[in-house]
Amino acid sequence: MSDSQALDAIHNWQQWFRENRVVAELDDPGESKDSREKMHDTSKAISSLNEAVTAQAFEKAKEYFADTMAEFWNELTGPQLYKAFYAAAMEQLQYQEKELKKAQSIVDMLHYKG
């Protein structure tokens, strides 16, 4: 590209920019201010991320439950599958309660309450 072609390209771009630019004015900020504010608005970013993670976890849990049901479909009835699910949930609850007691004892010890 010759120097004159480069200068013509720059000139053409500058002319296009002057005709098509959107500038924030003091009295009427217009589009550019709104777009800048939206670009920096992260208030919905975390909630969107949390929603995506929750949706992904939901789909994964649904898939695991479907696999479990399919694996035992011929061996257990519906009520038996329900009882197995309930028993597993209760075991998980008891385990979590034990873990909570351990954590609480450590916190108490750190606060010299134990």
Instruction: List pLDDT tens digits, range 66-113.
Output: 999 899 989 999 999 999 999 999 999 999 999 999 999 999 888 875
> Between these two residues, 48 and 104, which has the higher pLDDT value?
104
Query: Does the pLDDT at position 7 exceed 80?
Result: yes
Helix 45-72 × helix 78-110 angle, to 10°: 130
